[in-house]
Chain A
């Protein structure tokens, strides 16, 4: 009888530990998803500003602006590596816009362009923040699923490592 009670108590303790670890992992996943939505918001903002900038550039340099290809595709729920690729494309597009702007001083000095340039900087800052927050959450989660005893729960639930949001470092 005593052995049975001991086994039941042990099983209860193990169950509680299992539930607690599972909750921790679930919370970590929620935090990653929240941070990812932050990346989505920042990417959308960046895309909008970039599109507006391109429209202004077209007004000043129609011919040159035709060479800037707008191939960026943003859609809801796209995997993180596709978001990284979209960001790389936006960076390329930004560089092309800057090259064109360099050749047109009146474009660079226009109030609209200047205000959009400030917005670009701000959206970049937000994007960097969202990316760092996301990666910090992914790092914490990935550590949890490889470290004992949470690794056992992660294996039982079939949880795998999440990808980092890789981006070209932009200096702030």
Chain B
């Protein structure tokens, strides 16, 4: 433990210095450029060197942090779990839902796959962006979605597609276009809980199935989860899989670049990041029979 701490601390320091110096040289270069003109360009050279050292060290530091600290946190919560920082939920899985805007850039990492209370899950960080080029050739990038994407596999085909979108979840898309078959189109559904109706919009193909899956307790849990997460969420029942997207503009399980490094605190932070998964499983009581098999 002590050895790991020393190793991580040294890596953190190296990457912190590298990135810090890079930023300092960039600021100095801009100041000199504005005061003395071309001379300032020279300062970009140390900025680039410091940047390369800092970023390379940070990559190594993050890899080591995830392999040792995050993995330990995940194993403590889920037992048998696989954690692949460089992999993510595939593009096809996300877009096959037909319920999220596509964008033209997709990236995903920190894939966690395991089982909690008998429910198989996978989760990763997902970032969907739209890159556009205007008539002057200027490129701009808009982030459509950044946050967690979770899938829960129930080995049970739901009778219909169902989409639950909280307020402010701008990236959602209604499944089924203008020319879709009537039975494939999702229509808006209202529930008996007014607070839930205000906070969430539900679209489904079958009203009874929607009421079967969204019970009064589930409505309360979703309202609580929405408050706890402080981020817009979207749930999608498609095929035999429940997809949950949390648009919190954050990456989970990341290593701290600056500040005090306490491995116990970091491990607890990792455990805290897993809470998004366990809270959904617990809150929605996913271990119930209705998700498991067609009785």
Q: Is there a chain B Cβ closer than 8 Å to A85's Cβ?
A: no
- Distance to closest chain A CB from B187 (angstroms): 10
- Distance to closest chain B CB from A139 (angstroms): 7
A172/B295 in contact, CB under 8 A: no
Given the complex, which residues of B lie within 8 Å of A118, measured CB to CB?
289, 295
Given the complex, which residues of A lie within 8 Å of B211, measured CB to CB?
128-130, 132-133, 136
Expressed in whole angstroms, the Cα–Cα distance for A130 and B212 within the complex equals 8
Count of B residues near A, CB < 8 Å? 14
Q: A172-B215, A172-B217 are in contact. Are A139 and B208 (CB under 8 A)?
A: no
A126/B192 in contact, CB under 8 A: no
Given the complex, which residues of B lie within 8 Å of A133, measured CB to CB?
207-208, 210-211
- Distance to closest chain A CB from B28 (angstroms): 65
B212/A125 in contact, CB under 8 A: yes
Count of A residues near B, CB < 8 Å? 21
Chain B residues 256 to 295 lying within 8 A of chain A, measured CB to CB, are 289-290, 295
B190/A140 in contact, CB under 8 A: yes
Q: Is there a chain A Cβ closer than 8 Å to B191's Cβ?
A: yes
Q: Provide the main secondary structure of the chain B interface.
A: helix
Most chain B CB within a 10 A radius of its CB, from A118, A132, A139: A132
A-B contact count (CB 8 A): 43
Expressed in whole angstroms, the Cα–Cα distance for A119 and B191 within the complex equals 26
Chain A residues 7 to 36 lying within 8 A of chain B, measured CB to CB, are 31, 34-35
Nearest neighbor of B217 in chain A, beta-carbon distance: A172
Q: Mark A135-159, 1 if CB is under 8 A from B, else 0.
A: 1110110000000000000000000
Nearest neighbor of A132 in chain B, beta-carbon distance: B211
Given the complex, which residues of B lie within 8 Å of A121, measured CB to CB?
289
B192/A135 in contact, CB under 8 A: yes
Select one of A31, A34, A122, A137 contacting B295, CB under 8 A. A122
Nearest neighbor of A42 in chain B, beta-carbon distance: B208
B212/A35 in contact, CB under 8 A: no
Given the complex, which residues of B lie within 8 Å of A119, measured CB to CB?
295
Given the complex, which residues of B lie within 8 Å of A128, measured CB to CB?
211, 215
- Distance to closest chain B CB from A123 (angstroms): 9
Q: A122-B295, A132-B192, A136-B191 are in contact. Are A35 and B217 (CB under 8 A)?
A: no
Nearest neighbor of B218 in chain A, beta-carbon distance: A172
Nearest neighbor of A126 in chain B, beta-carbon distance: B212
Most chain B CB within a 10 A radius of its CB, from A35, A38, A118, A137: A38
Given the complex, which residues of A lie within 8 Å of B192, measured CB to CB?
132, 135-136, 139
Given the complex, which residues of B lie within 8 Å of A122, measured CB to CB?
289-290, 295
Given the complex, which residues of B lie within 8 Å of A129, measured CB to CB?
208-209, 211-212, 215
Given the complex, which residues of A lie within 8 Å of B209, measured CB to CB?
129
Given the complex, which residues of A lie within 8 Å of B207, measured CB to CB?
31, 34-35, 133, 136-137
- List 12 contacting pairs A-B, 8 Å CB cutoff, sorted by A: A34-B207, A118-B295, A122-B289, A126-B208, A129-B209, A129-B215, A130-B208, A132-B211, A133-B208, A136-B207, A136-B211, A140-B190
Given contacts A132-B211, A133-B208, could you give 7 more A-B pairs where the C-beta distance is less than 8 Å? A31-B207, A35-B208, A38-B208, A126-B212, A128-B215, A129-B211, A172-B217
By a beta-carbon cutoff of 8 Å, the part of chain B in contact with chain A is 190-192, 207-212, 215, 217, 289-290, 295
By a beta-carbon cutoff of 8 Å, the part of chain A in contact with chain B is 31, 34-35, 38, 118-119, 121-122, 125-126, 128-130, 132-133, 135-137, 139-140, 172
Top 5 A-B pairs, shortest CB-CB distance: A129-B212, A129-B211, A122-B295, A133-B211, A38-B208
